[in-house]
Amino acid sequence: MPQFAVPEHAEEGKFVGRRITRVENITLLKGKGQFVDDLPTKKGTAEVAILRSPHAHAEVVSIDYSDALALPGVFAVITGEDMLAETDPMIVGFENPIDYRGVALDKVRYVGEPVAVIAARDRYTAEDAMDLVKVEYKVLKPVIDPVEAAKPEAPLIHTKGDSNCVSRRTFTHGEPDDAFAAAKRTNEITIRYPRNSITPMETYAVIAEHMEETGGFDVTSNFQGPFSVHTVMAMALRIRTSALRHHSPTNSGGSFGSKLTIFPYVVVMCVLARKAGRPVKWIEDRLEHLSSANSAPNRVTRIEAAYDDDGIVSALRMEHWDDHGAYLRAPMPAPIYRMHGVSTNGYDIRHLEVVNNIMITNKCPTGAVRGFGGPQLYFAVERMMQVIATELGIDPLEMLRRNLIKAEQFPYKAIAGALIDSGDYHRTVDETVDQGGLEELKKRRDAARAEGKLYGIGYAACVEPSQSNMGYISTLKTGLERERAGPKDGAVATVTVSVDALGSVNVIGDSVPQGQGHQTTLSQIVADELGLRPHDVVVTLDTDTAKDGWSIAAGNYSCRFAPASCSAAHEAAVKVRTKMARIAATTLNVGVDEIEFTKGKIHAKSNPDNAVPFYRVGGLAHWSPSSLPDEMDPGLRETSHWNAPELTPTTANDEINTSLAYGFGFDFCGVEIDPKTGQVRVDKYVSAHDCGTILNPGLAEGQIRGSYVAAIGATLMEEFKYNEEDGSFLSGTFAEYLVPTAPEVPELTLIHPTPNPSPYTRLGAKGIAEGNQYTTPVCMANAVADALGRKDVSTPLTPSKVFEWLHDTEMQPKGATPPAPAKGKGQAIEGVGETLVPASPQEVWNILLDPEKMANVIPGCHELTEVGSNAYEAVVTLGVGPVKGKFDAKINLTDLDEPKSVTLSGTAQGTLGSSSGSGSVTLEAADGGTRVSYTYEVHLSGKVAAVGGRMVRGAARHLIDRFFKALVRQAGGEDDGGGGKRGLFRRGGS
């Protein structure tokens, strides 16, 4: 197993830098973790189910939940009406027309938006009650694409505003216009970065209880921070922030950013708990998570570069349409602003123009996803670099080298404001190329190409920001607005180290871990300072906002732990050490600077025998305050609120040092494309990350490998898909939203370059968890572009997409008519077919127009009533795959040409979603009976579309089949048990 270079200060006997096994494993490996749903709840705690919108955009005409409330075991139901009466909008960092309260008010704006929230004695009962809530919608036209949404004719999603673009800011750094005018060459590409997330295996979980004593609420959830959002919740609930007591348990089942946007549900559950008069617990299910929890913003970027014949880039222009879905949830639209300072990535580019359009569309609202704005930005920048290299005939790696910031330029002030602390990018690249075997890979490429194979090599570099400046989101305001609001900057981290009366050490902190091994790392840091072993230090990281030290930056996001929490832990440990050294100096009768801490003893440096046990000094501070040095406070508990002065506010000309520490990553890869299937096979993938001091190589390597595989998902498989026409959501299970499993992961060659510690963090550590989110998608896209000689590539690089790129021109057989594009962008279920019915056309016609007989023919039909001339209403029970439900159907018959043809059209609505469709039926006499020919087209929305993607076509065929078998039976044909005569039927294709 490759080992990281051991950082310089990991001296003999120190634990920082060592591959210490995780203390967290002791419970987790035995199934004794403490995740939210593992915790005991108070007796009488209700469980919650949420009824969600099947429509992307619709007016909520009425909601009737009286039947649901009447169901035994149901305690309370809340809707938007309750939220409107009892909460204020959940605010974001700037004024906008969005009124967001966590449950739909007048309109639903995405599939999966909560409409009614039900508390019942258990989840099963709550879901039963869900089926009894009647919601009437008036469906509106949705808009899915962010560029379309910006057009004046697009449906307006939030009608208090006048555009779906809720913020547009232009940033000018340097003199981009002059640079473009003076440039010898320019080039431009447009990037479409898709929607995805990194879905944690544990979903959202909230337990909430109303506390009459404070008028507030007690909440336990797997919220991850930033705790600035605690304020948003309390303000929405109209309570004092101190009356919103939030606990996060010891364990959280992954997050990757996702669990930031649990906070609207916290607010909703608080309101529900108060109404139900008892604690409530909500555990999100997987469909809810995929459809409605979170997504990284998809983004369209038009990027333009100015450069010379040598490929030296002088200026970049970018316009982003950043798609945030239906609502903005704090701190959105942060991802695009978090990356603002490093808009020029690791390149020495001194002129820049950026236009940020923050777009609202009818999709799930966005939130944090590992990489936080970086994948979108770097995909554009790194594609641009490759396109320029290709145009100029320069090796793309040489192109990178010519533009990268040089070692002697650090700390480097990027043109948009990032103060890039340290690095030696050229050395990192050289080490990666040498150790990763690039020359060998090039030979493999040449050999493959000589055999006619489609083989490409891609490269990508990235600056990896860590520890966010709390002020960066203010960059979206104008200088004047910022001045009015007051300065925002810094990022405070809080850790407390205490030593008790028997000298045992306890550490608490605000890092809210989700599996990264924070307990282990902090024990290493504190043990080193106090001359102890890691297992002498007990680290407790569940949080309680009423008791713990924390500030607005608290939480687990944007690679905050290594630079921030570790610095705070180090500082708190040093404070404890300093105090104990003073006490020991008195006892040992030596100067304070003579004191050392080694192996559980405090002793004089020059005479180790002049020593006192660590625990005894701890005891003195508690048992004998009178024997402490003058003016020393008793006890041993030191809290560090650590902040870095480099995190300054946005300047008047919009420069912002968005993060504190900046690592560097460099990847290259070789891919081969199978021309028969379009599959991208990764031949070799090499990745290197310089993240400064490595605190624990086992943990650091885990972060890189985890990020790499998450990025493999984003690159090759994962995408939240929506029907562009009706906005229905199509990725509701892990069978639709594909994530990598063990056999699908290409081997990673991990290089450990020479580290360049950060001068701004106390241990020199920088974040490491996000690097491959930045590099891998574009590195592979560059390789595919290289293999295909193609300029326009996008992720995910699915076989069907790559196959289309390969074959869109050359594979079309001469003279063949291309298949007509399906309506609804190919997402409708369509089919044609015919069958022979043993009755005359007139008899068949009579059945089709007789409600009683049709009720027997329509699969799953319970009731069919004529409600007007050739208009019917029906109740049908239908199932697709794992879901089954009741639908209210409306059917109209038009274009009646007795007894020859008729058109059926209609809609169906139920808890599983809604559908609309039409079909035409033609009857003609044949073989002593009637040949019934039909075509149909069905659109689905809601749950059935989200989870049934793979199955609905088959299910539709099956239903049509059942329909005609029943028709044959009704017409007096023989019933073979399954219905219908075999051999008479020809299944309709779809």
Partner 1 sequence: MTKMERAGRYPVEFNLNGEPVDGFASPRMLLSDFLRHEIGATGTHVGCEHGVCGVCTVKVDGKAVRSCLMFAVQAEGAEIETIEGMAEADGSFSALQEAFHQNFALQCGYCTPGVLMSLSEFLGRNPDPTEDEVKVALSGNICRCTGYHEIVQAAMDAAKAIREGAA
Q: Report the interface residues with partner 1, using CB under 8 A.
A: 1, 21-22, 24-25, 28-33, 35, 37-38, 124, 198-203, 251-254, 256, 285-287, 514-517, 698-699, 701-702, 705-710, 733-735, 739-743, 745, 748, 882, 947
Question: What is the smallest separation between the CB atom of 776 and partner 1, expressed in angstroms?
Answer: 11
Question: What is the smallest separation between the CB atom of 556 and partner 1, expressed in angstroms?
Answer: 11
Nearer to partner 1, 37 or 319 (CB): 37
Question: What is the smallest separation between the CB atom of 254 and partner 1, expressed in angstroms?
Answer: 4
Question: What is the smallest separation between the CB atom of 11 and partner 1, expressed in angstroms?
Answer: 24
Angle (deg, nearest 10), helices 771-788 and 799-807: 30
Round to whole Å and give the CA distance between 419 and 631: 41
Nearer to partner 1, 1 or 480 (CB): 1
Identify which of 953, 950, 878 has the alpha carbon closest to the alpha carbon of residue 909.
878
Nearer to partner 1, 33 or 860 (CB): 33
H or E stretch at 339 = none
Nearer to partner 1, 18 or 853 (CB): 18
Q: Looking up tokens 């608490």, which residue turns up?
A: 508
Question: What is the smallest separation between the CB atom of 363 and partner 1, expressed in angstroms?
Answer: 22
Nearer to partner 1, 222 or 345 (CB): 222
Give the pairing type, strands 185-193 and 861-868.
Answer: unpaired
Question: What is the smallest separation between the CB atom of 698 and partner 1, expressed in angstroms?
Answer: 4
Question: What is the smallest separation between the CB atom of 739 and partner 1, expressed in angstroms?
Answer: 6
Nearer to partner 1, 516 or 915 (CB): 516
Identify which of 874, 869, 860 has the alpha carbon closest to the alpha carbon of residue 909.
874
Nearer to partner 1, 675 or 881 (CB): 881
Nearer to partner 1, 256 or 459 (CB): 256
Question: What is the smallest separation between the CB atom of 505 and partner 1, expressed in angstroms?
Answer: 23
Are 701 and 750 contacting, i.e. CB atoms less than 8 angstroms apart? Answer: yes
Question: What is the smallest separation between the CB atom of 217 and partner 1, expressed in angstroms?
Answer: 24
Nearer to partner 1, 23 or 569 (CB): 23
Give the CA distances from residue 809 to residues 189, 791, 805, 813, in Å, rounded to whole numbers and listed in that order: 21, 15, 8, 10
Give the pairing type, strands 58-64 and 107-108.
Answer: antiparallel
Question: What is the smallest separation between the CB atom of 657 and partner 1, expressed in angstroms?
Answer: 30
Identify which of 341, 340, 349, 281 has the alpha carbon closest to the alpha carbon of residue 313.
349
Round to whole Å and give the CA distance between 118 and 269: 10
Judge if the upstream peptide bond of residue 279 is cis by omega within 30 degrees of 0: no
Q: In DSSP terms, which residues pair with 942 in a beta bridge?
A: none
Question: What is the smallest separation between the CB atom of 629 and partner 1, expressed in angstroms?
Answer: 44
Question: What is the smallest separation between the CB atom of 123 and partner 1, expressed in angstroms?
Answer: 8
Question: What is the smallest separation between the CB atom of 109 and partner 1, expressed in angstroms?
Answer: 26
Nearer to partner 1, 733 or 907 (CB): 733
Q: In DSSP terms, which residues pair with 58 in a beta bridge?
A: 108, 139
Question: What is the smallest separation between the CB atom of 879 and partner 1, expressed in angstroms?
Answer: 15
H helices of 8-98, where? 25-28, 66-70, 80-86
What is the three-class DSSP state of 404? strand
Nearer to partner 1, 31 or 821 (CB): 31
Q: What is the DSSP letter of 709?
A: H
CA 806 to chain centre: 30
Cα–Cα–Cα angle for 958, 960, 965, nearest 5°? 95
Give the CA distances from residue 453 to residues 444, 449, 458, 673, 793, in Å, rounded to whole numbers and listed in that order: 11, 5, 16, 8, 19
- Output the DSSP codes for 571-636: HHHHHHHHHHHHHHHHHHTS-GGGEEEETTEEEESS-TTSEEEHHHHHHHHHH-GGGSPTTPPSS-
- What is the edge-to-edge ordering of all strands in the sheet holding 637-642? 537-540, 505-509, 493-499, 637-642
Q: In DSSP terms, which residues pair with 189 in a beta bridge?
A: 303
Angle (deg, nearest 10), helices 396-403 and 425-436: 160
Round to whole Å and give the CA distance between 849 and 891: 12
Are 47 and 119 contacting, i.e. CB atoms less than 8 angstroms apart? Answer: yes
Nearer to partner 1, 32 or 413 (CB): 32
Would you call 188 exposed, middle or buried from its count of C-beta atoms within 10 A (0-12, 13-18, 19+)? exposed
Nearer to partner 1, 269 or 290 (CB): 290
Nearer to partner 1, 199 or 428 (CB): 199
Round to whole Å and give the CA distance between 950 and 947: 8
* Token representation of residue 317: 């222009």
Question: What is the smallest separation between the CB atom of 163 and partner 1, expressed in angstroms?
Answer: 37
Nearer to partner 1, 628 or 739 (CB): 739
Nearer to partner 1, 199 or 761 (CB): 199
Question: What is the smallest separation between the CB atom of 520 and partner 1, expressed in angstroms?
Answer: 10
Round to whole Å and give the CA distance between 143 and 138: 16
Question: What is the smallest separation between the CB atom of 303 and partner 1, expressed in angstroms?
Answer: 30
Round to whole Å and give the CA distance between 881 and 13: 59
Round to whole Å and give the CA distance between 87 and 237: 5
What amino acid is encoded at 95 in this protein?
A: E
What is the three-class DSSP state of 378? helix
Nearer to partner 1, 501 or 745 (CB): 745
Q: Looking up tokens 């520890």, which residue turns up?
A: 467
Question: What is the smallest separation between the CB atom of 191 and partner 1, expressed in angstroms?
Answer: 26
Identify which of 880, 990, 18 has the alpha carbon closest to the alpha carbon of residue 527.
18
Nearer to partner 1, 871 or 951 (CB): 951
